[in-house]
Structure 1
Amino acid sequence: MSQSSSPLNLAVVIATMDRPSNVHRLLSNIKAQAFHPHQVIVVDGGEITAKAVVEQFTDLEIDYITVRPPALTKQKNAGVAVARSDIDLIGFFDDDMAFETGALEAMMAFWATAKAEVAGASFNLTDFDNSWARPKSLAQRLFFIDNRSFGKVLRSGYTTHIWNVQSDTSVQWLGGGYTVWRKRVFDTCLFEEWYTGSGMWEDTFFSYRVGKDNQLFIVADAKASHLDAPIPLQSQFKLGHTQIVNWLYFVNQNRDLSLFMCLWGCVGRTLINLTKGILGWDRGYLLRALGNAKGLLTVAMGGAKANRDTSLGQVQ
């Protein structure tokens, strides 16, 4: 499917910071696809800019903008604001994504026949494992973080896996950096800018809200991989803290979810990370567990508190 033969126009937003080599790899990957987006929007929040890289890809229709200070949700919203009036779909690609040959074409083929009630669709990540072990599952079930079901948001707010599907599959949430949305979604909803930095849980916050009134899918033939770099040891404590605080904030904004189950799940997540750290002599998991514990203290002091009646991330 060439760009000209698609019945819908696609814009792609790439939010990046200090990773010009990643931007080069992603743009090269997009360029190699049979289908090219009608507009590519690179939203740069870094000091090491990707502008020189962007200028190399003259055969792609790229708009380059900067956002300071950087934050994933702010950069995504800035990208939405730059999307042209003739755009029908807006995709959001992390700069460490890699799309298999024909992936964009498969995604556009899905949208060409999608029903009006379908609002979002994610690429099918083939480099993640859907398997589960019974002993691990028993512990997860105890703490309401069981991942045996597919594509669900549990009452604790915990999300189950959404990758490696064999056929197009309906889900309750979508990932943030490998997903395409109907542009009309952004007439009433924007990304929640309470989530700062890398925006952990922002994808769940946004997609779960949209999915309450619309259908969401994983597109089986639109295959991709997430080339995520290993988390440095010095970042594990902060990651653990953010896991808990941002998780609680998401649940606190959705009355259909349970704060009690979420808090119990956070305790479980802390204990599981601590157990992994002790049994495996893994400093990363130990630091993450300590970060989880600090997150629970932050929550106890009101760090993730927000009025459940407050409408956040909505266009005013």
Structure 2
Amino acid sequence: MKLKISLIICTYQRPDAITRLIASVKSQSRCPDQMIIVDGSQDQKTKDRLGEIEIANLKYFQVSDGDRGLTKQRNYGISKVSDDIDIVAFLDDDVVLNLDYFERLLETYVNYPDAMGVGGYITNEVVWEKTHHIEENDIRNFYFDGYRRKESSRYKLRRELGLVQKEPPGFYPDFGHGRSIGFLPPSGKIYQTETLMGGVSSFPLHVLKEHKFSEYFKGYGLYEDADFSLRLSKLGNLYVNTAAQLEHHHDASGRPNSYKYGKMVVRNGWYVWRVKNPDPTLRDRLKWYQITLLLIAIRCVNIVTTQERRSAFQEMMGRLTGMFSLIGNKPSSTQTYTCLNICKVLK
């Protein structure tokens, strides 16, 4: 049976970016059966631009304040999906797809019918090289499945300090701060994971009817995808197909300023860590705070080592503010723990 797929694109003030994305969607070897655009823009530029494009099965919705924000727009889009759809894909508005993206994505569900979700793979953010030789104690490179990539300064320090995870990429350690699926190589293989990137993800419609994106993550979101996929991983398996490829061309429009971003990194990071581990040990707590402080220190050093000094300073201050705010004002986790308890009962 041929699986039917709907594509949801949530956008905000990015008419140029979404135009590039739609051009790559129209060129697909397997086009979506339905496309839903949920536009949170506060002007008509995106609507006017889309009016110039001819594309079948397109539904456009411009939402008001009550439904504006990434998780709210995703939940809104889910409510507009046709009942005969099997799979719902989400894409950030600033990506460009390889020609067979949806074909590869759907093949994953055929090969893994148990999948609670499947993610695609971004090709233009990291340089990988094949290697059959792993150098012991090499902290300059990260090795995985016959490939290697340059290790960032933050991970070099974490490895030196014994603060790096043992779990594979895409799995969250009990102290949080795990390696993302960006640490999976472009092998063309399908990897099981615990987290997916929301802007290159997909889920069966029946899953999305039962589980919604948390509206705790207001506006831009940030880690909303980790929250959602970690909750789903309590119920079933998630996969990343590194053959379902696309490029991510970061668009600065609609992003929060560096101070707000830094604060969100810490507070939302704490929230997601507690989704994974609602009752951490003292050792796990210490590691989470040690790594958080280390990352703040790195951004502090960046004030004098990079050209983006103002941005580094603002982000450092945002992270520091977020850190101190946890003392007396931790993110509300009642809904999170309730979801986890339900997952345990069902499992």
TM-score range, shorter chain: 0.7 to 0.9
Partners of 1:310 and 1:177 lie apart in 2 by: 26
Residues 153, 19 of structure 1: CA spacing in aligned structure 2 closer, same or farther, 3 A cutoff? same
Correspondence for 1:295: 322
Structure 2 unmatched runs, 5+? 129-148, 343-347
The question of whether the paired residues in 2 share the 8 Å contact of 1:15 and 1:43 is answered with yes
User: What do the CA deviations read for 1:152-211 (whole angstroms, capped 9, x no partner)?
Assistant: 212222231313430111111000111111112123210000100110010000011111
Residues 176, 147 of structure 1: CA spacing in aligned structure 2 closer, same or farther, 3 A cutoff? farther
Letter of the 1:271 counterpart? A
Correspondence for 1:103: 101
Partners of 2:294 and 2:253 lie apart in 1 by: 21
Partners of 2:30 and 2:249 lie apart in 1 by: 22
Residues 306, 135 of structure 1: CA spacing in aligned structure 2 closer, same or farther, 3 A cutoff? closer
Correspondence for 2:178: 159
RMSD: 2.6
Letter of the 2:217 counterpart? Y
Q: Give 1:47 shift.
A: 1.3
Q: Please state if 1:279 is matched with 2:305.
A: yes
Greater mean alpha carbon deviation, residues 301-310 or residues 267-276: 301-310
Counting only pairs closer than 5 Å after superposition, residues 57-68 of structure 1 correspond to structure 2 as 57-68=53-64
Structure 1 unmatched runs, 5+? 1-5
Paired residue total: 307
Q: Give 1:136 shift.
A: 4.3
Greater mean alpha carbon deviation, residues 36-45 or residues 249-258: 249-258
Correspondence for 1:137: 155
Greater mean alpha carbon deviation, residues 280-289 or residues 220-229: 280-289
Partners of 2:251 and 2:31 lie apart in 1 by: 26
Q: Secondary structure at the match of 1:311?
A: helix
Partners of 2:256 and 2:204 lie apart in 1 by: 38
The question of whether the paired residues in 1 share the 8 Å contact of 2:258 and 2:314 is answered with yes
User: What do the CA deviations read for 1:59-92 (whole angstroms, capped 9, x no partner)?
Assistant: 3211111222220000000000100000110111
Partners of 2:47 and 2:227 lie apart in 1 by: 31
Correspondence for 1:266: 292
Counting only pairs closer than 5 Å after superposition, residues 77-156 of structure 1 correspond to structure 2 as 77-115=75-113, 117-129=114-126, 131-133=149-151, 136-141=154-159, 142=161, 144=163, 149-156=168-175
User: What do the CA deviations read for 1:236-282 (whole angstroms, capped 9, x no partner)?
Assistant: 11111110011112223342654443233221221122123333364
Correspondence for 2:48: 52
Q: Secondary structure at the match of 2:247?
A: strand
Q: Please state if 1:191 is matched with 2:225.
A: no
Counting only pairs closer than 5 Å after superposition, residues 162-241 of structure 1 correspond to structure 2 as 162-163=181-182, 164-166=185-187, 167-229=189-251, 235-241=257-263
Letter of the 1:42 counterpart? I
Partners of 1:28 and 1:22 lie apart in 2 by: 10
TM-score w.r.t. the length of structure 1 is 0.88
Q: Secondary structure at the match of 2:31?
A: coil
The question of whether the paired residues in 2 share the 8 Å contact of 1:145 and 1:156 is answered with no
Q: Secondary structure at the match of 1:300?
A: coil
Letter of the 1:311 counterpart? C
Residues 309, 7 of structure 1: CA spacing in aligned structure 2 closer, same or farther, 3 A cutoff? same
Partners of 1:234 and 1:114 lie apart in 2 by: 37
Residues 234, 73 of structure 1: CA spacing in aligned structure 2 closer, same or farther, 3 A cutoff? closer
Correspondence for 2:136: none
Counting only pairs closer than 5 Å after superposition, residues 16-27 of structure 1 correspond to structure 2 as 16-27=11-22
Residues 191, 56 of structure 1: CA spacing in aligned structure 2 closer, same or farther, 3 A cutoff? same
Partners of 1:90 and 1:59 lie apart in 2 by: 18
Partners of 1:68 and 1:303 lie apart in 2 by: 29
The question of whether the paired residues in 2 share the 8 Å contact of 1:252 and 1:305 is answered with no
